[in-house]
Homo-oligomer: A and B are copies of this chain.
Amino acid sequence: MSRKLHLNAFLMGVGHHEAAWRHPRTDPLRLTDVRHFQNLAQIAERGRLDSVFFADGLALQGDVRHNALGGLEPLTLLSALAAVTDHVGLIATVSTTYNEPFHVARRFASLDHISGGRAGWNIVTSAGEAEAHNFGIERPAHRDRYERAAEFLEVATRLWDSWEDDAVVGDRDAGIYADIAKIHQVDHAGAHFRVKGPLNIQRPPQGRPLLVQAGSSDDGRDFAARHAEAVFTAQQTLEEGQEFYADIKARAARYGRPPENVVILPGISPILGGTEREALRLEKELEDLIIPAYGVAQLSNILGVDLSGHPLDEPLPHVPVETEGQQSRLKLVTDLARREGLSLRELIARLAGGRGHRVLAGTPEQIADQIQEWFENGAADGFNIMPPVLPSGLEDFVDHVVPELQARGLFRHEYEGRTLRENYGLPRPASRYASGPAGEIAGGNAPENADGTVAVAS
């Protein structure tokens, strides 16, 4: 069986292009309309896409005067999408910096049950200052955030494992609901968390939700190689894509993981037309709708410098490299500007389309060529598709690019499995407690001497 692409639809409001909300093919008032997103998930499923994904932030970031910002909380949204779909995976960003492992483990376990095994978690550490100010703290340092994330994930996986797969018995006659030898306290006590467990929901269908990650800094790559099963990334050139791909796979191997268990998904924003001219016209229409002041403010924010006085048609000024915050994003943007000698206006237009991801305008065949080139040359296991306008950009991709990829033998005609893991070709993890000695259960009515000693093979 030949290797197949994996495709994730990264859904953002009414489209990834910064000016999408102003384009006649979108309705800017649908940001809180669940039917809009239900329709998108159904389109993705019609196209046999592996999954849909919603990014997230914990503050109103960006200038809402000039852009359609603020929407539904992703996890709450995803269970409403689970109710109207059967196959497509459901991935949401949740921060490890501003949450507690018990809540997050429980909510993803719930979504995984609700969706029949289609939940995925994009793990982020939340770099922004505005987010910190909604939770009463100052922005934590880059490394601290990653340390907390690693411990968070350790606790979360223990909680998902805390009920072995066959813990629920349901024997009415004997009066035995669960075999408590198969439900385990997690008894975690670390630098950031103390959590007794067990989780208060049985093990989810996938064992654990699919773990996704997107940081491209050194800490981010290391975290991805250790923990992530799918990686979203922004790479502009084939060479960059190959470097990133090889690096993550090699790092994973060093951690003793099979490299094929980390699925690398670079982001692309395909601007589609029946002809190349039509695609370029749509691109131009969107570019003409950009509000320069908004783009300057966005870029100032990414780079950590105030560009508001800088002439739009001159090159980007020198930008000092920050030591904290979204390091890899900053480098990506400055590299892009230098490499292509872009003016501030041109850089803004490029970022407006994909915020540092590749924007490809062309026919379905041209887009398929690009996908195939990266897929067959060690730069991608699939792609994170970022439609510039929604729903039409996703419809165009599903109706025109997907059939082209299928005709080339690169993409599935039918879903391979029932769960997100099965469709991504990833194994279902066993509970770490499954082969260990029996533990005692914690809980309000457990006898005081149930000390919950559990031998853990981690």
Contacts and interface: CB of A to CB of B under 8 A. Distances in A.
A348 interface: no
Given A102-B134, A200-B59, A114 B77 contact: yes
A445 B200 contact: no
Contacts of A98: 100, 103
A133 interface: yes
B102 A135 contact: yes
Contact of A65 (B22, B59, B106, B178): B178
Given A69-B200, A73-B201, A445 B21 contact: no
Q: Which 10 residue pairs across A and B have the least CB separation, nearest first?
A: A83-B83, A136-B194, A61-B444, A133-B196, A32-B113, A297-B445, A73-B110, A76-B110, A79-B80, A60-B200
Contacts of A64: 177-178, 180, 183, 441, 443
How many monomers of this chain does the complex have?
2
In the complex, which of the residues A61, A79, A163, A199 has the most CB atoms of chain B within 10 Å of its own CB atom? A79
Contacts of A82: 34, 80
A193 B65 contact: no
Contact of A193 (B60, B75, B136, B198): B136
Interface of A: 21-24, 28-29, 31-34, 38, 57-73, 75-77, 79-80, 82-84, 98-100, 102-103, 106-107, 109-111, 113-114, 128-130, 133-136, 163, 168, 170, 172, 175-180, 183, 193-202, 289, 291, 297-298, 300-301, 441-446
A424 B173 CA distance: 42
A130 B442 contact: yes
